[in-house]
Structure 1
Amino acid sequence: MKTRSERHLLNDTTLAVVGCQWGDEGKGKISDFLAGQVDVVVRYNGGPNAGHTIVVENETFKLHHLPCGVLYPGKINILGNGMVLDALTLEDELAGLKRRGIIVQKLFISDRAHLILPYHRRQDSLEEEKRGSAKIGTTLRGIGPAYQDKIARRGIRAGELRDAQRLKEKIAAFLSEKNELFARYYSAETMTMPEIEEGYLPAAYRLLPYIADTALLLAGHLERGEKVLFEGAQGAMLDIDYGTYPYVTSSGTMTGSVCSGAGIPPGKVGTILGVGKAYTTRVGAGPFPTEIEGKTAEYIRERGREFGTTTGRPRRIGWLDGVALRQACRLNGVQHLALTLFDVLGGVGSIKIATAYRCRDGSVTEHFPADQHILEEITPIYREFAGWDEDISRCGNINDLPRAALDYIKGVEETAGAPVSLLSVGPRRDQTIWRL
């Protein structure tokens, strides 16, 4: 039976879960927590650069392509047209679940989703190497080059797997262009068509039973009044337009991408739940105004297990950037916030939230600048809060939390301009507190 809080948050037919920082906010845990109350779970952006870690009864699952609904028997799971898919990685992901006794049956892949080909991975690696000290810090999984080809109208869509001969002809033509790029610009080895035909296409063809017009399927589910959860990847500060450009991902990460990436009209986006950590992290290069180093950063990194799910890289650590969070809530139209990894802050001592920035010329702004050079020169203006030493990972009710923790939550709400309705105090499903 649903609690009153669950009924309130899931009152609309659809619920969009979006990241409000630089990714790694715990969207997977929150989406998984809510997925038991919906009928359909949809991924609508990104690809295997996502790394959603979910703990179910002390078992840890790390999902890259797949929506969290695969961990619930009977749920319908959709990979939307806004995604880019690596057939080899997706097949490995499905096989890994099967080895653990989870058979994914109700999976549908949009025939409009683009494929990541082996030459995209090669291009990604060569581009990063060429950038030298100005590296973006990509996951090297071919995401950016696949989206490049999509926009340049030379991509391969999943639906094209239905016509093997035409598909091979298109790939051969595109491979010729890529090889010219590899040889002439990067002075690198070229790739052969047999490499793709033998090493990649068999896995891609095995995805054929899952391929469908998912926008049409979704329309049917919505017409029948079924509950749909849209599970976002990455975060607002990595959005191609509103993130810390050029240190961003290659897809839209905002609520608006639910419509274009899943194939639903704007009026069908119901409740919008933003997810943010109780502090801030970032992987890879790029501006990070509230970044901290030293013992406090190491303490948070170890307690929060702050190492990339996809890359394994240690994440950069910072205090909660309220300026960035406020912008993310405004741009996404966030109605509720889920605050994650709250338990990690226990024992840190005093805690800070950046509420504004002081610019190099002495002026103060409460808004997030678009110019990365300005971001690199600003100084955060902090509001400081008393910390707590209690272990809150066993708290099951908001009233069980220490006074200092409640004060911090109130400070987050005042800064972000949105209510904290869910609180995560540990990785498991049962370590989640409703606050509505």
Structure 2
Amino acid sequence: MINNIAIVGMQWGDEGKGKIVDLLSKKSNYIVRYQGGNNAGHTIVIDKKKTILHLIPSGILHDKTICIIGDGVVVSPEFLIEEIKNINKSNISIKNRLFLSHNCTIILPYHIFIDRAREKFQGKSSIGTTEKGIGPAYEDQVARRGLRIGDLKYPNYFSKKLKEISIYYNSQLINLYNQEAIDYNFILENILKYKKQILEITTDTSSILINAKKKNKKIIFEGAQGSLLDIHHGTYPYVTSSNTTVSGIFSGTGLGPFKLDYVLGITKAYSTRVGSGPFPTELFNDIGNHFFKKGNEIGSTTGRRRRTGWIDLVLLSQSIQINSVNGLCLTKIDILDELEEIKVCIGYQSIDNKKITNIPCSICDWEKLVPIYKTLSGWKSSTLGINKFQHLPEEAKNFVYFIEKFTKISIDIISTGPDRNHTIILRNIF
């Protein structure tokens, strides 16, 4: 029996995880975010109405689903309260349905200011962060100087430590980045405005999940970003600051590694990434523009144009291995409808024609890669909204079969459009 599912992005994020989490949420009891912060965005379309969530798990749209923001998430209290307000405007209640871990590290204004200052200082060499303060907040966590949600219960301790950290960051802002100092009193007054609302939903979320597991409740672990942005396994240094792979679940929730029954990897039928960093199959031609325009490839968090390219089965295979994926979900297959030919990357060679057998670890090695492509026939007909596999064009089926054969993993779900109903279910997971 499958009770616990991890939904993990296989690329650089933006694979369409939000829709799939929403789709499966109606059969689940709990949805859990376990890493990242409001640098992630999940877009869900139901009856043509679009909802964008950044911190709150996608399952909040189902009134019987309990949503957990786990220990590994870094949280901006101001942003979270604003997102709750927006949810309430849609007549969706969070009462007894949204719980926040007391162990979450808090994102504070100095994190955002230092993030922006660094990106500006580095210029063309910048990582291309969302400038939401995520990286600096994780730095504080690892350096053991961060403030956590549970610390809000102790005003004297909180204010004392906040003042110490403010001095630390102000010295950098003034002396290194030539920026104005941040007013400690302003930060304190601002955070205290949200204290009551935040503490109302704060609890020991690990205990909730452990008890849910004992009762055989159905739990979905909702990943943010994608595996190729993992701090350890991604295209370093152009990565995020958390473990976006399935390993992040265990450190980010308090559940042990044997609690997962199934890992669903989400991949687009092509590739995208936001910000700087390696992208071997990136396109700078009309097809790249086609992916951008028809796929509406604008970041839901940043508003930035996503870079676009062909699907990379080499990197997909690596993500499958790292995450112990049981099945794949292929999204946005309808974006390929108008193409005469479809290319898939099946290998690399170096610029001096040597075959590459290992994924590079250095940014210098990435720059030497030349993708090797397999060209498949396009189908030149609409797949939008198709919900039966047998109704797909033969060429579209061949595309699916090729990915399965190369990766040695079955494609269990195919998304044929943005709406919840635009989905082909090849295996009922729950």
Task: Answer whether TM exceeds 0.5 for this pair.
Answer: yes
For the aligned residue pairs, the C-alpha RMSD in angstroms reads 1.0
Q: Displacement, 1:349?
A: 1.8
1:89-100 alignment, distance < 5 Å: 89-100=79-90
1:255-404 alignment, distance < 5 Å: 255-404=246-395
Q: Residue 7 of structure 1 corresponds to which residue in structure 2?
A: none
How far apart, CA to CA, are the structure 2 residues paired with 1:140 and 1:417? Answer: 38
Match for 1:154 among 134, 145, 148?
145
Match for 1:72 among 56, 62, 70?
62
Match for 2:30 among 36, 40, 56?
40
Contact 2:385 2:423 in 1 (8 A): no
Q: Output one character per residue of 1:131-174: Cα deviation in whole Å (capped at 9) or x when no partner.
A: 11101010000000000000000001111111122111110111
Gap regions ≥5 residues in structure 2:
none
How far apart, CA to CA, are the structure 2 residues paired with 1:209 and 1:358? Answer: 55
Provide the TM-score with structure 1 as the length reference: 0.96
How far apart, CA to CA, are the structure 1 residues paired with 2:195 and 2:112? Answer: 16
User: Any idea what SS the aligned residue of 1:426 has?
Assistant: coil
Q: Displacement, 1:415?
A: 2.3
Match for 1:122 among 113, 118, 122?
113
Contact 1:118 1:200 in 2 (8 A): no
Contact 1:111 1:159 in 2 (8 A): yes
User: Any idea what SS the aligned residue of 1:62 has?
Assistant: strand
User: Any idea what SS the aligned residue of 1:32 has?
Assistant: helix
Residue range with higher mean Cα deviation, 327-336 or 387-396 = 387-396
Match for 1:413 among 404, 408, 418?
404
User: Any idea what SS the aligned residue of 1:200 has?
Assistant: helix
Sequence identity of aligned pairs in percent?
A: 38
Q: Residue 131 of structure 1 corresponds to which residue in structure 2?
A: 122
User: Is it true that 1:432 corresponds to 2:420 in the alignment?
Assistant: no
User: Any idea what SS the aligned residue of 2:193 has?
Assistant: helix
User: Is it true that 1:15 corresponds to 2:5 in the alignment?
Assistant: yes
How far apart, CA to CA, are the structure 2 residues paired with 1:311 and 1:291? Answer: 20
User: Is it true that 1:62 corresponds to 2:31 in the alignment?
Assistant: no
**Aligned pairs, how many?**
426
Contact 1:299 1:348 in 2 (8 A): no
User: Any idea what SS the aligned residue of 1:177 has?
Assistant: helix
Provide the TM-score with structure 2 as the length reference: 0.97
Q: Output one character per residue of 1:151-202: Cα deviation in whole Å (capped at 9) or x when no partner.
A: 0000011111111221111101111111111111112100112211233331
Q: Output one character per residue of 1:72-101: Cα deviation in whole Å (capped at 9) or x when no partner.
A: 002110000000001111111110111121
How far apart, CA to CA, are the structure 1 residues paired with 2:367 and 2:16? Answer: 26
Q: Supply the AA of the counterpart residue of 1:99.
A: K
Residue range with higher mean Cα deviation, 408-417 or 376-385 = 408-417
Q: Output one character per residue of 1:33-76: Cα deviation in whole Å (capped at 9) or x when no partner.
A: 11111100000010000000001222111000010111000211
How far apart, CA to CA, are the structure 1 residues paired with 2:251 and 2:376? Answer: 40
How far apart, CA to CA, are the structure 2 residues paired with 1:416 and 1:35? Answer: 27
Q: Output one character per residue of 1:332-377: Cα deviation in whole Å (capped at 9) or x when no partner.
A: 0001000001111100220011010011332212432212211112
How far apart, CA to CA, are the structure 2 residues paired with 1:163 and 1:272? Answer: 39
User: Any idea what SS the aligned residue of 1:281 has?
Assistant: strand
Residue range with higher mean Cα deviation, 81-90 or 189-198 = 189-198
Contact 2:36 2:74 in 1 (8 A): yes
Contact 1:39 1:226 in 2 (8 A): yes
Residue range with higher mean Cα deviation, 148-157 or 413-422 = 413-422
Q: Residue 215 of structure 2 corresponds to which residue in structure 1?
A: 224
Q: Output one character per residue of 1:302-335: Cα deviation in whole Å (capped at 9) or x when no partner.
A: 1111000001111000000111100000110001
Match for 1:84 among 71, 74, 84?
74
Contact 1:355 1:366 in 2 (8 A): no
Q: Supply the AA of the counterpart residue of 1:377.
A: K
Contact 1:67 1:77 in 2 (8 A): yes
User: Is it true that 1:31 corresponds to 2:42 in the alignment?
Assistant: no
Q: Supply the AA of the counterpart residue of 2:211.
A: G
User: Any idea what SS the aligned residue of 2:328 has?
Assistant: strand
